[in-house]
Amino acid sequence: MTPAELTGALEAIIYAADEPVTLDQLSVAVGEEKTAVRAALDLLVASYAAEDRGIEVRRVAGGYKFYTKPQHHDGVRRFIKALRPPLRLTMPALETLAVIAYKQPATQPEIQEIRGVNCAGVIQTLLEKRLITTAGRKHVLGRPILYRTSKEFMMRFGLSDLDELPSLKEFEQLARDALGTDEGLAPAEAEPGLDSATGAPDGPEESFSADGEPSREAPSEISPESSHTNSPDENTSVATPSSDEESH
């Protein structure tokens, strides 16, 4: 296979894949050594880096995937919104996600100790949205389930590995870019698991709704002052774009 043929084959595979394709997978698929595949990937990435191209090849979540370039995100968002409404992520869910990201793997009691509220419903929602996943059980009394961030989290936040996680102060901006767009914060229900008037435990978390233009405004700041997170803002939610928004 010539270098040009190899580059073309890699381009086709990455385009067709729903998930980031690893170097190992690409090497097996084209039947070439990793060194040759890596060199062809470098050429492919460089060819899409030209300013007149609307998409680019990024290394994310341990693999390679096509993404739209940032300067075209607004147009892509309008197109995606016309196809289906974006998901909504509550502020308590965003703050719980931040705790898991920086303390992972973490158990539910550990997360609740940091946030100071019952977060069972929020964790279940994050699992359903595939932003977190289970990571076995901790070897302590009761053997609680451990939680960590998922490949979907890595893809949505544009991270190649966890070493690329920013500081907690930078996480707010990263969350805004990954999960928000341009209309600000929309009203939301009170903290899941708490009575809005008394703060006592209440029923399970409300399911996320899907409506409206995604927002570019930042969520309330997640500060390292209180073990990775501020007290949750009980009355706001952040609209999140589709996870397919930037791919292809």
pLDDT tens per residue, range 227-239: 343 434 444 444 4
State the Cα–Cα distance between residues 218 and 245, nearest whole angstrom: 19
The CATH classification number of 3-68 equals 1.10.10.10
pLDDT digits 0-9 by tens, 126-184: 999 889 999 999 999 999 999 999 988 887 777 777 887 877 777 766 666 666 533 33
Contacts of 206-209 with CB under 8 Å at 24 or more apart are 207/125, 208/87, 208/88, 208/89, 208/90, 208/93, 208/125, 208/129, 209/88
Which are the contacts of 8, defined by CB distance < 8 A and separation ≥ 6? Answer: none
On whether the pTM is more than 0.75, the answer is: no
Label residue 72 by pLDDT band (50, 70, 90).
confident
Q: Helix or strand or coil: residue 5?
A: helix
Whether residue 39 is predicted with pLDDT greater than 90 in this model: the reply is yes
Lowest mean pLDDT among 13-27, 105-119, 211-225: 211-225
Phi first, then psi: what are they for 66, rounded to 5°? -80, 140
Which pLDDT value is given to residue 166?
78
> Do 3-68 and 84-240 agree at the fold level?
yes
Listed by start position, the domains of the chain span 3-68, 84-240
Domain 84-240 in CATH 1.10.10.10: yes
Residues forming beta bridges with residue 194, ordered by sequence position: 201
